[in-house]
Structures are given as C-alpha cells and as structure tokens.
C-alpha cells in the first residue's frame, strides 16, 4: 500500500481486539489493506443525503464460520461497516458479486437501520474476489 494512501485512508487493518474476537469464531477468510470505495445511490439517513457519492477507503474483509464483517479505515462510515450473520453460508441481506478484481457487497441500509434508505455498495480490490464471492454464495 502506498504511503499517501495509508496517510489519507488508513491502514485497512482490523484492530487487535476485533481480530482476536473474529479469530475465536473460526476464520474462513481474512483480507486486510484492501483499497476500495463506498458508493451511495439515493442514500438518506438523518441529516444526510447522498446520491451518486463515492468515498475512497481502505478496508478489511473477514469471513468466519458465523458471519461476514467488513471494517473500513476511512470515509463517512469508517469502523465496522458490515457485520451480518451467515445463513446457509450466505450473508443475510447482502448481495455479493465479483467484478474485475473487486468484491462488491451491496445492500439496502433500511434493512439494518429503519431510518435510512437507498442503496450502498462497498467495492474492495482483491485478487481473491472470485473466491470470496464463491465462499459467500455470490456471483464469481
């Protein structure tokens, strides 16, 4: 990761306490320092409206036997951005696909927060995008 990206967007690494908790659940896949973006379409939250906005970020993606977690180091929603249980190996409420070396996780924020609406996609660059999509039952 480049020096400037790290300075402006963070490391994209999990905090040690989060890593320990997730490791205890049984890691299936862990990827850190992934450059990417968060894209908003028709997004509304209390005091916020974003349509067509794109935030650059760096993040980590973790799949355990129980859940999917995406941690972001920069942007409006930095920190634990996605934390959903897996049902039948698929993340509940998250559409997963691989596209051009990126894993794309899309969702309707109203499903998790009743005061929000629109559509949000997290795009993270990784050479393992197709494998991650297959692990999560998405489109490789």
Contacts of 139 (CB under 8 A, 6+ apart): 96, 97, 98, 133
pLDDT confidence bin for 19, thresholds 50/70/90: very high
Tell me, yes or no, whether 63 lies in a domain.
yes
CA distance 70 to 59: 7
CATH number assigned to the domain comprising residue 45: 2.30.29
Tell me, yes or no, whether 140 lies in a domain.
no
The yes-or-no verdict on residue 40 having pLDDT over 70 is: yes
How large a percentage of the chain has pLDDT more than 70? 91
Q: Where are the alpha helices (DSSP H) in the chain?
A: 3-9, 16-25, 129-135
Structural contact between residues 75 and 38, judged by C-beta atoms closer than 8 angstroms? yes
Structural contact between residues 59 and 81, judged by C-beta atoms closer than 8 angstroms? yes
pTM score: 0.89
Could you give the number of structural domains in the chain?
Answer: 1
pLDDT tens-place string over residues 49-106 = 998 999 999 999 999 999 999 999 876 677 899 999 999 989 999 999 999 999 999 9
Tell me, yes or no, whether 95 lies in a domain.
yes
């Amino acid at each position: 990761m480049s020096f400037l990206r790290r300075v402006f967007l963070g490391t994209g690494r999990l905090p040690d306490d989060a890593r320990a908790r997730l490791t205890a659940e049984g890691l299936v896949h862990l990827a850190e320092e992934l450059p990417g973006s968060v894209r908003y379409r028709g997004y509304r939250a209390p005091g916020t409206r974003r349509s067509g906005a794109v935030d650059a970020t760096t993040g980590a993606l973790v799949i355990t036997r129980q859940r999917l977690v995406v941690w972001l180091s920069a942007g409006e929603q930095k920190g634990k951005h996605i934390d959903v249980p897996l049902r039948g190996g698929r993340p509940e409420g998250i559409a997963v696909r691989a596209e051009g070396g990126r894993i794309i996780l899309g969702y309707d924020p109203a499903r998790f927060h009743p005061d929000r609406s629109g559509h949000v996609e997290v795009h993270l660059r990784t050479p393992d995008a197709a494998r991650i999509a297959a692990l999560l039952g998405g489109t490789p």
